[in-house]
Structure 1
C-alpha cells in the first residue's frame, strides 16, 4: 500500500446522521396509570427542534430513583408528590439533586392534593423547576410546559458543555505549553484537540461516531507543508508538494479563499493566521457533521495555541542564535591558532556521541555539544608568539599556555545560562587528568566533571587525528595505541572503552568535518 493510498483511501459511505433523530427523554412518575395514558396521548405527536419525545414510565418513587440513574440524560421529569408515601415525590427530588447529582433535568411537581405539599413551601425547600396542580394541566398548557422545559434543558446542557469545553481547553493548553520543540508542540496540539473532539458522549467540540484524525499543514512559498499529524496521519512525512494532498486540495482552496472554517465530506478545516502572517490550516477528518463542531471553543483553543507557537518559535530562534554565536566564538579562537573552525565542530559532535553512549540524557548531551566549542576560549588571551609557536614551549611558556583554562573559566563563570555554565566547567577541567596530574586544579577520577572528561578525550583525539601548525596528523593505529596507554592515567577508562566501541561513528564525524590549515587572524 502506498503512502497516498493510506492517507486518501476512499471514504466509506456516510451513515445517516443520528443526532437529528435522538429523542428528548420525558420521565412520567405517577402511581395512577391513567395519568400516564393521558399525558402520553396529549404529547404523542409533539416534537421539539426536530426531535421526537421518548417517554419513560415510573409508577413509584423507588422506580423513579432507579430510572434516573439509568437515564441521566432525561430532559424533563413530571413528578407526582403522593405515591407509596405522602412525600415520595419530594424524596425523589432530593435523590435526583443530591445523590444522583443531576442538576440538568427539569423537574415539574404535579399533584392532585396540593394541601399535602403547599406550593410556597415546596418551591422554597426543594430544587424543582415548576409546581402544577393536575387539574390545571390542559393539553394546551401541557404542550407549553414541555416546550418551555425542553428549551431550558437544551440551553443548560449547552452552557454546561461550553464550561466543560473551556475547562478542557485550559487543561489542553497547559499540557501543550510544556512541549518545546515545534514538531512535538504541534503534535501535542493535535493530540489534545482530537481528545477534545473525540466521540465520547460528553465530548464538547465534535460528537463523531468514528475516530477523528488530525492534520496541521502550513502554507509557505506556494506549497503546503505537513507540520504534524495524528491517527492515520501520524506516520505520514514529506508531504511538501501541493499535489500530494489529493482530495484535500479543493478543501484547502476553499479555506484559503474564505479564510475561515470549512466543512466538506466529513472533513473539517479551520484557517489560522498568526501575528507574523504565517498561515496554518487545521484539518480534522472523520467529523459527522458541521453542526457537531463548536467553532467558538476551537477558536479559543487555537488562539492560545497560536500565541504559544509564536513564543516557541521565538525561543528557538534565540537559542539557535546563541548556539551559532558560541560556535563562532570557538571558531574564532581556533582560527587564531592557525586552525579552521571544524576542530570545534568535530569535538562537539564527538562529545555528544560519547555523552549519549555514557548514559547522559539527550538534553545533557545536547548542552555538552553546544558548550564544548568554547573549551579553549581562554586561548584568546595567550600571546600569538606562544600560541602559534611551531616548536616545543619553554617551561615559562608552558605556564603561560596553561593559564587559558582558568581564563576561559573566568570569562564564562558569571553566566546563568545552561550552555555557558557548562562551557565554563569544560574550559576549566578539560585539561585535568584521571590520575590527578593535570591542570589547573589537579583533580582526579570522578571529581572531574563528566563534561570535562568527555571533552578531554574528544579534544585530544581530534588534535592527534588532524594536522596542526606544529605537527602532522597521526596514523589511526598510533592514536589508538596512545589511548590504550593513557587509559586510567590521562583519561577516564570507561570513556576510553566507549571511544573504541564508537570508533566507526567517530571516523564518520572526522570525514564530515575535514579541514585545512588556515592563516591566522
Structure 2
C-alpha cells in the first residue's frame, strides 16, 4: 500500500516523533515483559508502528507499562498471537497484504483461537473499503478508528479503555476459573478416604486454586492426657518431610509461631506473604494449613479460600468419621477371629500370625499394598464358621471319624454364609477367605473342589499362611512340627495342596515368616 494514508490529514507534528531504527526493531526482553501489557501493532506501514510506539512510550496503566510486538502482515500477526496468547490489545489495520486482511484476522482471533479476551481496535486509512457501521455489526471488534482522526489523545483514551476492559475480563475469567477449581477440588476431596491423602490433596488444591507457592504444610493438633503437640500430616515444596513429624522439629520458629497462634486463637490469618488457615471438625479435631512464598492475595482469592476451607471442614469430618467406622470394623473382625480361636482352644496369637503371614505373601506375590492390607485385616475371619461346629467335635483330642470330619468341613460354608451378604469390602474379602481357604490347588479340597486359579488368590494365600502356622503350633490333637518338617511338607504339596508359585514365594520368604512367628510367639518356638 502507498504511504499517502497518513498524509491526507497527518498527526500534528508536535504530537509525535520518530523512534530511531534500533528502538523500533528492538525485541522486548524477558524483563520488559514482566508485569506489562502486551500490545500487537498489525499494520503494513512501518511509520504507523513508529508513531504508535512514540506516542505511547511513557504510557502506564494500573502500574504496568506497555510491551509492543510488530507485524507488517496478517500472517505475521497470526504467528505473534500464537506466541503471545496473553496479548491484551491488537491495533489492527484493515488493508495489509489483502484488502480485507484485518477483517479476516478478526475472524481468526475470535473463531479459531477462541480468544475473546483480547481487545481489538480496528484502524483504517480507507474507511470506504470497511464502513464503520458494517464492520462494527458484523465483526467482533471493540473499537473502530480512522487513522486521520486518531490523534495522540484519542489513541491514549482508546488504549486506556481497552486495557481496562481486558483487565476486568481477565479478573472475571480468573474468578470463574477459581470457582471451577473450587467445585472440582470439593468433588475430589470428598473422594479421598485416607487422612494422609486428604491432607496432601488439600495442599495441592489450595495452591492451585489461587496459584500460590508450592511451599505448604498441613498440621494436626494431637492432644493426649498430659500434653498437646502439633504434627505435620502432609507437606510440599521446601517443607517436604515424612508425615507425622513434630512441627517444631521441621520448621523455623516464625512459621511454628504462626501455626501455634492459629491453633490457640482458633482462627485463620491472612498476611501479605503467607496465609494460615484453621479448620475444625464437628468432633473437635483441629487442623491448620500454612502456605507462603507469594506476593499478596486479593479479596477474591481470600473468598475462594474461605469457600474451599468450608468444604474441607465437611470433608475432614466425613473422613474422620469414616476412619472411626473402619477402625471399629477392624477391631470387631479381629475380636471375632480371636473368639473363634479361643473357642477351639487354639492359641490366641494364631489369627495375628496368619494375618501378618498373609500380608507378607500377598506383597511378595505382587498385590498392591492396599489389597495386601485388606487380606491382612480379613484373614482373622478365616475360621469364623467354627462357631457352628459342636464343641465335642471341635475340641476332640483324638483322630476324627469320617462323619466328624464331614461336620468339621462345613465350617467353610458356614463362615461364607455368615459374611457373604455384607456390602463392606473388608467383609466381602473375609467371606471369600472363609469359603476357600481349604480348597486345594489340585481340586481335592473342600467345600467345592475348586482347582488351580479358580480358587481366589485370597484363599490360596491364606491356605499357606494357615497351614504353616497350624503345623508349627501345638494343638489339643497334636504336637508342633519342627521347621524342616514343615518345609518338606510344603515342597511335597507344591502343586497339590498349594499354589506352586506361592509355595516358591513362601520358601523364599521363610526368614520373614519366622520373624513374624518370633514376634507373636506362644509357648513353643522352632
How high is the TM-score relative to the length of structure 2? 0.79
CA distance in 2, matches of 1:437, 1:59: 86
Residues 68-467 of structure 1 aligned to structure 2 (within 5 Å): 68-82=81-95, 86-134=99-147, 136-137=149-150, 139-170=152-183, 179-194=192-207, 196=208, 205-206=211-212, 212-221=214-223, 222-242=228-248, 244-246=250-252, 247-253=254-260, 255-256=262-263, 257=265, 259-263=267-271, 266-290=273-297, 294-467=301-474
Structure 2: 5+ residue stretches without partners = 1-30
Aligned length: 488
C-alpha displacement of 1:129: 1.0
Deviations 1:146-173 (A, max 9, x none): 3222111101112222333444455555
CA distance in 2, matches of 1:55, 1:234: 42
Deviations 1:355-392 (A, max 9, x none): 32233343443332222212222221222222223333
Deviations 1:50-98 (A, max 9, x none): 2223444555555544544444333233334455654443333233333
C-alpha displacement of 1:458: 2.1
- Which is further off, 28-37 or 354-363? 28-37
- Which is further off, 143-152 or 50-59? 50-59
C-alpha displacement of 1:341: 3.3
The 1:214/1:115 distance shift into structure 2, 3 A limit, reads same
CA distance in 2, matches of 1:447, 1:62: 66
Are 2:505 and 1:498 aligned? yes
The 1:369/1:213 distance shift into structure 2, 3 A limit, reads same
CA distance in 1, matches of 2:68, 2:33: 18
C-alpha displacement of 1:443: 4.1
CA distance in 1, matches of 2:82, 2:33: 24
CA distance in 1, matches of 2:182, 2:476: 61
CA distance in 2, matches of 1:303, 1:151: 33
**What SS does the corresponding residue of 2:429 show, helix, strand or coil?**
helix
CA distance in 2, matches of 1:460, 1:329: 20
- Which is further off, 462-471 or 328-337? 462-471
The 1:249/1:386 distance shift into structure 2, 3 A limit, reads same
CA distance in 1, matches of 2:32, 2:43: 30
C-alpha displacement of 1:349: 1.5
2:475 counterpart (468, 484, 498)? 468
**What SS does the corresponding residue of 2:246 show, helix, strand or coil?**
coil
The 1:33/1:452 distance shift into structure 2, 3 A limit, reads closer
Higher relative contact order (CA 8 A, sep 6+): 1
- Which is further off, 385-394 or 26-35? 26-35
**Correspondence for 2:13:** none
* Contact persistence 1:483–1:496 (CA under 8 A): yes
**What SS does the corresponding residue of 2:230 show, helix, strand or coil?**
strand
**What SS does the corresponding residue of 2:218 show, helix, strand or coil?**
strand
**What SS does the corresponding residue of 1:428 show, helix, strand or coil?**
helix
**What SS does the corresponding residue of 1:245 show, helix, strand or coil?**
coil
CA distance in 1, matches of 2:313, 2:33: 34
**What SS does the corresponding residue of 1:473 show, helix, strand or coil?**
coil
Deviations 1:252-302 (A, max 9, x none): 2454448224336x5443333344443323233432444699334444444
C-alpha displacement of 1:318: 2.2
Residues 1-20 of structure 1 aligned to structure 2 (within 5 Å): none
**What SS does the corresponding residue of 1:280 show, helix, strand or coil?**
strand
**Correspondence for 1:4:** none
CA distance in 1, matches of 2:363, 2:433: 17
The 1:91/1:368 distance shift into structure 2, 3 A limit, reads closer
